[in-house]
Structure 1
Amino acid sequence: MARRKKIKNDMESGVATEEVSMVAEITPELEQLSADEIKGEIPVMTLRNMIMFTGIVMPVTVGRQATLKLVHSASKNKQHIIIATQRSSEIEDPALKDLYPVAVVGRVLRIFELPGGTTTVILQASNVKVKLEELTSVEPFLKGKVSVLPEFMEMENNDEFNALMDTCLDLANQYVDASDRLSPDVTFALKNLPREHVLVNYICTNFPFSLDEKYELICKPTLKDRLYALIQVLNRETKLAELKHDIQMRTREDLDRQQREYFLQQQIKNIQDELGNSQEDEIDGLRTKGKTKKWSKEIAAAFEREVQKLERINPQSPDYNVQLSYLQTLLSLPWNLFTTDNLSILNAEKVLNKDHYGLEKVKERILEHLAVLQLKGDMKSPILCLYGPPGVGKTSLGRSIASALKRKYVRMSLGGVHDEAEIRGHRRTYIGAMPGRIIKSLIKAESSNPVIILDEIDKMGNDRQGDPASAMLEVLDPEQNNAFHDNYVDLDYDLSKVMFIATANNLDMIPTPLLDRMELIEVSGYITEEKIEIARRHLIPKEMLENGLTKTHVKFTKLAIEYIIENYTRESGVRELEKKIGKVMRRIALEIASNKFAGLHELKPDDIKQYLGVPEYSRDKYQGNEYAGVVTGLAWTAAGGEILFVETSLSKGKGGRLTLTGNLGDVMKESAMLALEYLKAHSSLLDLPDGIFDNWNIHIHVPEGAIPKDGPSAGITMVTSLASALTQRKVKANLAMTGEITLRGKVLPVGGIREKILAAKRAGITNLILCEENRKNIEEIQPLYLKGLTFHYVRDIKEVLQLALTDEKVADAIDFEAIMKKDKEAEAAEKK
């Protein structure tokens, strides 16, 4: 049907093919007609899909019987005909409204009967353009009456007209080159036709413009107007033809490249088939590995579904590698694969004591866990959180725990992690998707019950990509992590057998819901005695090995190690101590390499100065009790315990102003005001003269003002300092104290007791005043560290003052009563 319709539409249509040369040969001179010659009823030949212009010879294929009768009659009688055009090619018997009004007068030059029953007619248009007025007859063919329209086709001999003709011819040639709708023979015709109205009308007739555009062109009355309009149409059509040509060329190049890649891929596939690495072998290998896995029926079924999905994907598709990577991840996971725990309590205790000195609470918790495992046989692993200052061995403790349990060890650093996908993984729909760190750690450990260290859990961040701390809730909840869901794996995985050990420096930075899921164990700073043992057992042998020394080269005495700790480090842990020991080792290695080594170095404190230079830090020492208002307090810092001095001085002045200096925080300032208010309210307790608070300004100072100080621990120290200054009584020798106060005079407990009392011992203090509730903290400390110290436990400030103040006045004590009496006498005399 489509072919029949095409043949039908071609009937009575213009043919711009190789017949052009034939037409050129039979073309006679242009017939000149007058208006009188075309009066009356004239046969009307209707064309489809083309408009014929004046002066043009054109072959036309004829199919309709009425038209065949018309052309034979016109040829036989040498009769002129009207050559008109239908608006629509579908109409079989057109009426006047179905025809374009403007037509040309022509005649039939020749009729060719072609094989197959088709007839081609050579038509020649005259110089007359007419308008169809009416159709007068239908049988045996169309006839009608017309009126002549003006047609001025004379050439103008000027530069503008010549330029228009040149432009028109150039654009016509460009269009023939760019378009595939015209035969190359058209170029030959353009070269041989005369440069006048015949050339213009030939282009208008034969080029494949739309009928409406051709009709607009034939309606132009002058050759110049037709040229301008034709150039516009040619310009547009040429650009469109060139654009189509470029698109076709690019498309052809893409197809050629795709075909080339396809053939190369086929060759690769054939080579792989020869080598035995085909897709089938790969999928068979996946299934074989899957059969060795100890996974549940649900996981096995999910794995088989994913393998079947892989089979349906073309190996050349990008999705193939994505699916293959996913299946390989599933096979890499240690499903229900566990290492055997070493549940020997003695072995675990031996390993922990060997690797770490001190840390009794942590070791005790691990041994408890092992004991329950030994009795019960199975239990959920604890979620421990070791918190404390840097350098105290929190991370290395996790490695020791894994070694004691004979489990695999994996460390996950969470510092700076701010993307939730780092924990839960990415969905497979994303480009470059991968599992989260938890799943990666299990793949690395190759077991489902490793020890995973979550290092620096307090330093996780959050941003627009999510909150990783919230994602950790499922990981660290013993009630949820038996079905942990990673977005990439998209299957539940049991984490309940994994022992998670988190480390943190600051608990305030960890969200409360996450903190609630962990068992907190404080790893406090080491005291000097512990640091000495750590250095002797671990740090010195390690640095010897790293610097190529042996015991025949160097030996540290206990006093030398203590000297380094006290004078060259200020820390809770032992990182700085390790660096200083390493520096000493390097200096000795330099001596050996320079042939200056004189034998075994048994290092003493004086030798340390030679290697490390001038001491960087100095510890405060007890300064005696010769001054009123100077009391020794105790403070906790991140580097351990320290002693501090609270100094109070009085100066004459009305109003009793209180001045605080020493870079004190808000809490410490409040303690000073509490102390002063308490003494004002209980002045009778110390027999203070009346008016002393109104006539004397008070200045409280804590030395080392460049160091910020805060906390309530100096409360009772400030009360004692004020009381000593106001009474001018001496403070008991070799005494230090710590405790918080209330406005009612109660003494409250404080923290950091172990570090504080050891700082007091190093400073030469022998007596300590503490809150009664801090007695339990003293009982936890080894008796060895308490030797030589006497503790006084109090509940009220009155007890503190009774213990701390002696009845002896300081030298050059101020006689407040005498001074105030003298001032009153002077005021009275002045008034008189």
Structure 2
Amino acid sequence: MANENDSSILHPEIVEAPREAADDHRGTPAAETLVLAAKELPDRIHLLPTPSKPVFPGLVFPIMVPQGPVGDLLKAVAAEVPERVVGFVLTRQEEPGDLEKLEQADLYLVGTAARILRLQETPDGSVQALLRGERRFHLLKAVRRDGRLVGQVAYVEDVAGAGDAVRAMAQAIVASLRELIKHNPLFSEEIKSFLVRTDWGEPGRLADFATQMTSATREEAQDVLECLDVRRRLEKVLFLLRKELDLNQLKEKITHQIEEKITAQQREFFLREQLKAIKQELGLEKDEKTEEIERYEARLAELTLGEEARTRIREEIDRLKVLSPQSPEYSVSRTYLDWLTGLPWGKYSEDVLDVARGRGILDRDHYGLEDVKKRILEFIGVAKLRGRVEGSILCLIGPPGVGKTSLGRAVAEALGRQFYRFSLGGMRDEAEIKGHRRTYIGALPGKVIQAIKTVGTANPVIMLDEIDKVGASYQGDPASALLEVLDPEQNCSFRDHYLDVPFDLSKVLFIATANLPDTIPGPLLDRMEVIRLSGYIVEEKLAIAERHLVPRVLERAALNPELLHFTTPALRAIIEGYAREAGVRNLEKALSSVARKVAAGRAEGIVSDPVVVTPANVAEYLGKPVFLDDPLMKRRRAGVVMGLAWTPFGGSTLYVEAIRVPRREHPIKLTGQLGEVMAESTHIAYSMVTAGAESFGIAKDFFQDATVHLHVPAGATPKDGPSAGITMATALISLASNRKVPAGMAMTGELTLTGRVLPVGGIKEKIIAARRSKVRTVILPKANERDFAEIPEAVRRGLTVHFVEDFREVCELVFPSPAPAAR
């Protein structure tokens, strides 16, 4: 933009247009297109940038602008400029930003000078003006003066066109405008008025007007404005008109299709309503409400109901009759009747009380667990003698992955009953069990009633999974709500909050599962018959893998035994190195990982030959073993003893280490995240050993002026319980007498201050853990002899077990050689 102090633009003078600007007019010489300013139009005019579309000469147009710089400019021009002329110039950007900061480079060089015919200021400060486009101009220079854009311009003339071609194109434009009236009535009056007043000797003006009647883009309209050759301008406008007509035809076609579709839908609706009315008059069809009521009454006649339930359904049907289908209560009442009449009232499946069949199903789906199978078969046998299965509540307690859920499914199959399972884990709302009251929007019955409706019989097997993980909140205690469900004396008339009528659950067989009994409320646990499931030993896992897991894994991976084969030593290596948990879930995951890698290799073409998994190549598929036997723990050393522990995930072995620290800060130091009960057991063992040190062959001054440090690896695992008492005492004696515990020996038992050995729990899990760790000799409390006798022979085989009542017996077994003379 020229400098504001440049005074050359302020005085009249002849300015030659820049050569590049002149040549930009489609090849028209500058001498033919640029003229001196007309007497009635000044050569210096105020410029008004417009971002929408350009203004064309010969057309009258109104504008209305709010109070601001543009309005002030129009008022100033109307009041101060004798010619009342302002220049409209199109901005190069459609969204130029602040119009007050635009420069010459931001504007097109060809614009239109327009004269203000009338101007009026409204009370709110806005300006309404009527203007008429006068002449095209070429912008030569522009500066800002007093904040307003002022330009020096040269007015340009059209390059007249004559001949038949121009006349033909003008007639084609007129024809197109007449056709445009048919498609777009919005411009009909304006086009008719123009055609009446127009002098056909001005084809350029016709082209300018026709451009305004189209939806051409701002760039297309500016291209027409800059075209001074009338013939070429007519060609451009004719093209724009044809495109506009095609667009209007397409729009009308789409509108017509939509209207036809809507009309067809309306016609079909009216015909259906008429047909429905005719059928109702002839008695051939009933309305929806009547059909629903008759359906509910037909269901009611078929159901075996108690008097209270039948009365409630009858009352609800009578209520539905007087409700309007548009009423919100209508849908609530209909949903309530759907639930009441959809339940299997009095509908029971026939029980299959065949003990041999039940044993076959249990053996087919589960390996081992003989004591559990025996208890389930006893349940079926009693039901056979009674002729029916009374509603019972079984609770299967055991570590994850031992088959609790699948056992419940097998029981349902053995009895020939429907099976439904839902999890109680994390449930915190009492309404999940007993339902929501009907006063709430979206109310539904509880899980138990939903299960009954889903299976379609009133005597299914319902599995309550993870009953030990039920939560509680301000919304209620689901465990307390289960008391009525699982009480045989009460569930014969179970009343769900939503149904609010009694429903008989006494024929339902409930099977609950849990990992720990400790978190189950006492009253709830008292209503269930507990069956404990322990973990599997290696031999059982091998059999389960070969019979069940490997075929299942191969099927999921789209493989067969010819393409992937697991050798028995490989399975054993996977069990011992990657899946030492009580169950078989991690074992299945490890087998699936191997199968997936083989399947992926075959899919990529990397693997083509059959794959045989052996102990030598297991690490190639599963990485380094997760579980490694500590070689240091296998070496016999004084002060180290193996104990047996119970965990929620099954039994495990642990080592107790003891060393003597010369300085005496405290008599005994404990590490390894020992719980309060385990710490007390350690102090009891320490007191008992120090009190009878001489009788155990310990030097008199061994515990004086020294601290005994006991540690139970691993340090990151919390441990608690009294069963490590004799293990702690044995470790102290082994340290103090410098005698080593025999290899392959483990022990468990609670110790008293007087040396008595008390019984502990989890014997089966601990024995399984001993077998898993290749223990040969086990020391147990005498009172646990009965628990050991209940363990299957396959688990006990190969173990030498000693039962003790006093710790002296433990010393005789662990240290058979006489102790060195005490000093």
Partner Cα separation in structure 2 for residue 753 and residue 621 of structure 1: 26
How far does residue 534 in structure 1 lie from its aligned partner after superposition? 1.6
More moved, 453-462 vs 619-628: 619-628
How far does residue 407 in structure 1 lie from its aligned partner after superposition? 0.7
Partner Cα separation in structure 1 for residue 411 and residue 486 of structure 2: 18
Partner Cα separation in structure 2 for residue 771 and residue 272 of structure 1: 87
Instruction: Note if contact 2:351-2:388 (Cα within 8 Å) is conserved in structure 1.
Output: no
Partner Cα separation in structure 1 for residue 317 and residue 607 of structure 2: 70
Match of 2:360 in 1: 350
- Superposition pairs for residues 167-178 of structure 1, below 5 Å? none
Are 1:477 and 2:487 counterparts?
A: yes
Question: CA-to-partner distance for each residue in 1:92-117, whole Å, 9 max, x for gaps?
Answer: xxxxxxxxxxxxxxxxxxxxxxxxxx
More moved, 537-546 vs 772-781: 772-781
2:676 to 647, 660, 666: 666
Instruction: Note if contact 2:538-2:772 (Cα within 8 Å) is conserved in structure 1.
Output: no
Match of 1:577 in 2: 587
Match of 2:478 in 1: 468
Match of 1:432 in 2: 442
Instruction: Note if contact 2:664-2:707 (Cα within 8 Å) is conserved in structure 1.
Output: yes
The alpha-carbon distance between structure 1 residues 425 and 626, as it changes in their structure 2 partners (threshold 3 A), is closer
Q: TM-score, normalised by structure 1?
A: 0.62
How far does residue 267 in structure 1 lie from its aligned partner after superposition? 8.8
Are 1:801 and 2:807 counterparts?
A: no
Letter in 2 for 1:586: R
Partner Cα separation in structure 1 for residue 278 and residue 643 of structure 2: 84
Instruction: Note if contact 1:571-1:638 (Cα within 8 Å) is conserved in structure 2.
Output: no
Match of 1:496 in 2: 506
Give the secondary structure class of the aligned counterpart of 1:319: helix
Instruction: Note if contact 1:767-1:791 (Cα within 8 Å) is conserved in structure 2.
Output: yes
The alpha-carbon distance between structure 1 residues 349 and 651, as it changes in their structure 2 partners (threshold 3 A), is same
Instruction: Note if contact 2:656-2:713 (Cα within 8 Å) is conserved in structure 1.
Output: yes
The alpha-carbon distance between structure 1 residues 699 and 792, as it changes in their structure 2 partners (threshold 3 A), is same
Give the secondary structure class of the aligned counterpart of 2:348: coil
Instruction: Note if contact 1:714-1:739 (Cα within 8 Å) is conserved in structure 2.
Output: yes
- Superposition pairs for residues 23-62 of structure 1, below 5 Å? none
Match of 1:155 in 2: none
Question: CA-to-partner distance for each residue in 1:497-537, whole Å, 9 max, x for gaps?
Answer: 01111112232222222222111121222222222222111
Partner Cα separation in structure 1 for residue 278 and residue 496 of structure 2: 38
1:628 to 625, 638, 646: 638
Match of 1:139 in 2: none
Match of 1:387 in 2: 397
Question: CA-to-partner distance for each residue in 1:70-128, whole Å, 9 max, x for gaps?
Answer: xxxxxxxxxxxxxxxxxxxxxxxxxxxxxxxxxxxxxxxxxxxxxxxxxxxxxxxxxxx
Letter in 1 for 2:374: E
The alpha-carbon distance between structure 1 residues 349 and 622, as it changes in their structure 2 partners (threshold 3 A), is farther
Unaligned runs of 5+ in 2: 1-269
2:615 to 590, 599, 605: 605
Match of 1:791 in 2: 801
The alpha-carbon distance between structure 1 residues 601 and 780, as it changes in their structure 2 partners (threshold 3 A), is farther
Partner Cα separation in structure 2 for residue 579 and residue 616 of structure 1: 13
Partner Cα separation in structure 2 for residue 659 and residue 358 of structure 1: 43
Instruction: Note if contact 1:415-1:456 (Cα within 8 Å) is conserved in structure 2.
Output: yes
Partner Cα separation in structure 1 for residue 437 and residue 607 of structure 2: 64
How far does residue 621 in structure 1 lie from its aligned partner after superposition? 5.8
Are 1:644 and 2:654 counterparts?
A: yes
Match of 1:532 in 2: 542
Match of 2:769 in 1: 759
Letter in 2 for 1:524: S
- Superposition pairs for residues 397-796 of structure 1, below 5 Å? 397-620=407-630, 623=633, 626-653=636-663, 657-796=667-806
> Whose Rg is larger?
1
Question: CA-to-partner distance for each residue in 1:129-171, whole Å, 9 max, x for gaps?
Answer: xxxxxxxxxxxxxxxxxxxxxxxxxxxxxxxxxxxxxxxxxxx
Q: TM-score, normalised by structure 2?
A: 0.63
Question: CA-to-partner distance for each residue in 1:530-552, whole Å, 9 max, x for gaps?
Answer: 22222111111111111101111
The alpha-carbon distance between structure 1 residues 460 and 733, as it changes in their structure 2 partners (threshold 3 A), is closer
How far does residue 379 in structure 1 lie from its aligned partner after superposition? 4.5
Partner Cα separation in structure 1 for residue 473 and residue 743 of structure 2: 57
How far does residue 753 in structure 1 lie from its aligned partner after superposition? 2.5
Partner Cα separation in structure 1 for residue 379 and residue 617 of structure 2: 47
Instruction: Note if contact 1:567-1:619 (Cα within 8 Å) is conserved in structure 2.
Output: no
Partner Cα separation in structure 2 for residue 434 and residue 761 of structure 1: 51
Partner Cα separation in structure 2 for residue 556 and residue 350 of structure 1: 27
Letter in 2 for 1:328: D
Say what the alpha-carbon RMSD is for the aligned residues. Answer: 2.7
Partner Cα separation in structure 1 for residue 368 and residue 278 of structure 2: 65
Give the secondary structure class of the aligned counterpart of 2:716: coil
How far does residue 687 in structure 1 lie from its aligned partner after superposition? 4.2
Partner Cα separation in structure 1 for residue 303 and residue 686 of structure 2: 75
Q: Runs in 1 of length 4+ with deviation above 4 angstroms?
A: 263-275, 620-626
Partner Cα separation in structure 1 for residue 650 and residue 512 of structure 2: 23
Question: CA-to-partner distance for each residue in 1:790-814, whole Å, 9 max, x for gaps?
Answer: 22211101111111114378xxx9x
- Superposition pairs for residues 251-400 of structure 1, below 5 Å? 270=277, 273=280, 276-400=286-410
Question: CA-to-partner distance for each residue in 1:748-778, whole Å, 9 max, x for gaps?
Answer: 1222323333433444432222111222232
Partner Cα separation in structure 2 for residue 793 and residue 663 of structure 1: 29
Partner Cα separation in structure 2 for residue 757 and residue 372 of structure 1: 32
Question: CA-to-partner distance for each residue in 1:249-270, whole Å, 9 max, x for gaps?
Answer: xxxxxxxxxxxxxx99999985
Instruction: Note if contact 1:625-1:732 (Cα within 8 Å) is conserved in structure 2.
Output: no
How far does residue 598 in structure 1 lie from its aligned partner after superposition? 4.8
Instruction: Note if contact 1:620-1:643 (Cα within 8 Å) is conserved in structure 2.
Output: no
How far does residue 742 in structure 1 lie from its aligned partner after superposition? 0.4
Question: CA-to-partner distance for each residue in 1:653-706, whole Å, 9 max, x for gaps?
Answer: 457722222332222222221112112222231244434332333222223323
Question: CA-to-partner distance for each residue in 1:612-652, whole Å, 9 max, x for gaps?
Answer: 11112213468466532222222233444333322222243
How far does residue 816 in structure 1 lie from its aligned partner after superposition? 8.1
Aligned-residue sequence identity (percent) comes to 47
More moved, 687-696 vs 609-618: 687-696
Partner Cα separation in structure 1 for residue 320 and residue 521 of structure 2: 42
Partner Cα separation in structure 2 for residue 507 and residue 365 of structure 1: 19
Partner Cα separation in structure 1 for residue 376 and residue 777 of structure 2: 37
Give the secondary structure class of the aligned counterpart of 2:764: helix
